[in-house]
Amino acid sequence: MKFSDKIKKEFSGKTVLLLQGPVGTFFHRLAIKMEKNKTKVLKLNFNGGDFFFYPNGKRCKCDEKDLENFYENFFKEKKIDAIVMYNDCRLIHAKAIKVARKLGIGIWIFEEGYLRPYCITFEKDGVNANSSLPRDKNFYLSCNILTKESIKEIPGGFKFMAFSAFLYWLFSFLLAPFFNNKLHHRTLFPFEFLFWFRSLYRKYLYKLTEKKLNQKIYSLEKKYFLAILQVYNDTQIKHHYKKSIEEFIEELILSFANHARAKSYLVFKHHPMDRGYRNYSKLINELSQKYHVEGRIFYVHDTYLPTLLKKALGCITINSTVGLSAILEGCPTKVCGNAFYDFEGLAYPKKLQFFWREAHAYKPNPSLVINFKNYLLNTNQFNGNFYKNSFLSR
């Protein structure tokens, strides 16, 4: 189903409330599209960034303790039929979802695509670990799932996203007196842009300094495990893992030291969006020495991910959608957190300690992989991104 057909089917003739969306103009363009389908659209703004991209929205300056009462009164007064948001774990969204469920109001969530990089997710009730997708291989194997949907390449979204993120931060800071920025899921520091400049500097630095390391890793084809690091303050980590990235790193190195074959290696891949905020080099070096696996642990930042996955013996993640990308590549994948794709036939089902020695013999079920991907394309994956205008016409 085309995205334009989806929103027409679900929201035509209804009153819809937009909460926070992805940075940029997407929610404003979405509202225009919805209104053409005879949908009444309302919007709540929680900071200056929301206001800048959607100036006609209603300002919400509630304290956290008052949010649920505010939502309940607002939903009833405006006769809201459905709420729409980006990410379901943010504080302002989690409380809205709680009230919406109580009142029987529809809940729809946008998220980055499960099928990266040229899809977005639009799903009812929950996304990622909160998704209502069946976690049963027999469900997908019993379905003869065909799809006419194809995933086309959509280049050039990053520069629009980066510029939109800068404007969002700038106006959140400038208009802070008119909002309660404490409600935001991330701290809105006055000097946030310094982290972005550091990220850009590090990007080009790592491109030079890690060139030989990348070549060495590529030469170890099917001898290394790839560990995916997520953003340190990712809501998926906070709500569905409960541990820090540092704890994840130590658990992996300790388990690797105790259970992996002596001629295998472990490669940690840093998240590109976390480049300016965190660097785990010192920690990884210290833990490698502590657990006596020096020379077998590598740490990279901007290595090309598809190549890393293709050459890896196995992939380990907390709950990143990179895990699903690995499965689609046929790479054995172990999930350490809570992920919608973590079930037998897709992800490795046993404990981590066994993965190191059994990964070579475990392969995702090819028929299950195809059916699962087609099911996603038929239900909640839409070819496009939030930052290119052509998406809403699809």
Annotate 381-393 with DSSP letters as a single string.
Answer: EEE--TT-GGGGG
Is 90 exceeded by the pLDDT of residue 90? yes
pLDDT in tens, 241-267: 989 999 999 999 999 999 999 999 999
Average pLDDT over residues 154-173: 88
Residue 244's pLDDT is 96
Can you tell me the distance from the alpha carbon of 31 to that of 240, in angstroms, rounded to the nearest whole number?
A: 31
At 222, is the pLDDT very low, low, confident or very high (cuts 50, 70, 90)?
very high
Residues in Cβ contact with 312 at an 8 Å cutoff, skipping those fewer than 6 apart: 222, 224, 225, 226, 267, 326, 331
Structure-block tokens of residue 160: 């629009």
| 3-163 and 173-376 share one fold | yes
Domain ranges of the chain: 3-163, 173-376
Beta pairing class for 82-86 and 224-228:
unpaired
Q: Which CATH number fits domain 3-163: 3.40.190.10, 3.60.150.10, 3.90.550.10, 3.40.50.20?
A: 3.40.50.20
Q: pTM for this structure?
A: 0.93
Is 80 exceeded by the pLDDT of residue 337? yes
Angle between helices 157-174 and 192-209 (to 10 degrees): 150
Average pLDDT over residues 172-186: 88
Structure-block tokens of residue 221: 């084809």
DSSP secondary structure string, 30-61? HHHHHHHTT-EEEEEE-SHHHHHH-TTSEE--
Instruction: Single out the residue of 369, 299, 379, 372 nearest to residue 327, CA to CA.
Output: 369
Instruction: Single out the residue of 144, 115, 114 nearest to residue 131, CA to CA.
Output: 114
SS3 letters for 65-113? Answer: HHHHHHHHHHHHHHCCCEEEEECCCCHHHHHHHHHHHHHCCEEEEEEEC
Is 70 exceeded by the pLDDT of residue 390? no
Average pLDDT over residues 282-309: 97
Can you tell me the distance from the alpha carbon of 388 to that of 3, in angstroms, rounded to the nearest whole number?
A: 14
**Strand, helix or coil for residue 302:** coil
CATH of domain 173-376: 3.40.50
